Amino acid sequence: MEYKVLEVGSPVPVTVYHTSYSRGHLIKWWWGRWVYVDDGMPADDSKRPCPRCARFPTSEGYDACLGHIPGVQVACCGHGVWGGGTVRGE
């Protein structure tokens, strides 16, 4: 591996990528796909438990701690992410 010593004031290459959360886990858009930031594995909602309650989604895809809420179209517990919870009705 080759290393370069940069002089003060020289431009430094910066990698920019989009980030988001997948059921409470930080993910990034990297080379055309979403991957988990912590290990680089492809982001798949069904393979990781909620970081807050440590439970997996229900078989219907609901957050385990909320379950099905009648009259609600979208509901998310927030998974421990500040300001991440939401509930939207019909």
Mean pLDDT of each 10-residue bin along the chain, 90 residues long: 62 73 89 92 82 88 87 84 79
Q: Is 34 exposed, middle or buried (0-12, 13-18, 19+ CB in 10 A)?
A: middle
pLDDT of residue 14: 60
pLDDT of residue 7: 67
Contact indicator for 30, 43 with CB cutoff of 8 Å = no
The pTM is what? 0.66
pLDDT of residue 63: 87
pLDDT of residue 27: 92
pLDDT of residue 68: 87
